[in-house]
Amino acid sequence: MPKGARLAPNCTFVLCDHLYAEAADVEEQRRAGLARMLRTALEGDGVPDRVLFADPLPRFIDEELSPSHRYGSADLIDLEQTTRIRTALMSGQDWTEDLLAARGSPEFAEYLAAKAGYTQAHSLKSVFPSESAIRSLSTKHLSQESLKEWIQSRDLVPNFARHVLTGTRYGSHAWRRELSTFPDRTAIGRLLRLIAWSAALRVLAPNQTDANFSNNYEDSIYAFIASYTFEIATRDQGLRRCIDAVFPGVRIRDTIAAS
């Protein structure tokens, strides 16, 4: 949003469960500025009533008991957490102190562990079953368009499921048939395609540091949630490319400011 701009009056925010942890993870010199930005964006007149909080990602996966019992957009919101967040936003909390306190919480430790696990899980040997698969991706999918064609392949997700989710229920014929669709209709299908996208980025930028690569962790969560809201506002070019390729039905906005 441009400085001093007002939020679009018809805008409703769907926030993810890592919002505060990600904000608390910034360097100390940036924390006060970020706190002011969050307060301006989320505590404005009438805004808290337009804030919704999404379920944590594992709940999406756990509640899909079969290919025909799919998690949907109507199931997206965590009502209990939404009530807590709205109450906090209307209480005039001190964001700077809260972000500092959050760094000592168990939830923050879990967040850091999840980011580290994300980076480790996307090592080349973890995601790709053979060196030949890595070489194939490295030589054949260097352009954005060819990468997009690869990520949208109907065979991609069932092959990843067979390699990454060995010994799980996703090996059944019904699940393999469902996972062979694009765009993905199931939460596990969407997640596996995002894993494939991140793995491809790792292959195509082998010299990228773990710290830089871990920034894709939050982007993956935002992309996943956007696949259920069908809309996202971001100017992050990496996230925009991900959305365009993995979830082409999602509308990408440049701004949430009133026109």
Which is more confident, 60 or 247?
247
Higher-confidence position of 222 and 259: 222
Q: What is the pLDDT of residue 252?
A: 96
Q: What are the tens digits of pLDDT across the range 144-198?
A: 667 888 899 898 888 778 777 766 778 888 999 999 999 999 999 999 899 888 8
Q: Tell me the C-alpha to C-alpha distance, in Å, between residue 65 and each of 15, 172, 187.
A: 25, 13, 11
d(C-alpha 98, C-alpha 108), whole Å: 12
Nearest alpha carbon to residue 60 among 185, 166, 165: 185
Given this model, what pLDDT does residue 224 score? Answer: 95
Which residue would you say has higher pLDDT here, 139 or 213? 213
Section 30-44 average pLDDT: 84
Of 35-44, 125-134, 179-188, 215-224, the range with the lowest mean pLDDT is 125-134
For position 234, what pLDDT does the model report?
93
Q: What tens digit of pLDDT does each residue of 226-254 get?
A: 999 999 999 999 999 999 999 999 999 99
**Tokens found for residue 106:** 């168990």
Cβ atoms of 119 and 85 within 8 Å: the answer is no
**Stretch among 38-42, 133-137, 224-228 having the lowest mean pLDDT:** 133-137
Per residue in 79-126, pLDDT (tens digit) is 998 998 888 888 877 888 888 888 988 989 988 998 888 877 766 555
- Given this model, what pLDDT does residue 123 score? 60
Which pLDDT score, from 0 to 100, does residue 97 have?
84
pLDDT bin (cut points 50, 70, 90) of residue 135 is: low
Identify the pLDDT of residue 220: 92
- CA 141 to CA 90: how far, in whole Å? 49
Output 141 or 251, whichever has higher pLDDT: 251
Question: What is residue 101's predicted lDDT score, i.e. its pLDDT?
Answer: 85
Q: What is the pLDDT of residue 225?
A: 95
3-state per-residue secondary structure call for the chain: CCCCCCECCCCCEEECCCHHHHHHCCCHHHHHHHHHHHHHHHCCCCCHHHEEEECCHHHHHHCCCECCECCCHHHCECHHHHHHHHHHHCCCCCHHHHHHHHCCCHHHHHHHHHHHHHHHHCCHHHHCCCHHHHHHHHHHCCCHHHHHHHHCCCCHHHHHHHHHCCCCHHHCHHHHHHHCCCCCCCHHHHHHHHHHHHHHHHHHCCCCCHHHHCCHHHHHHHHHHHHHHCEEECCCHHHHHHHHHHCCCCEEECCCECC
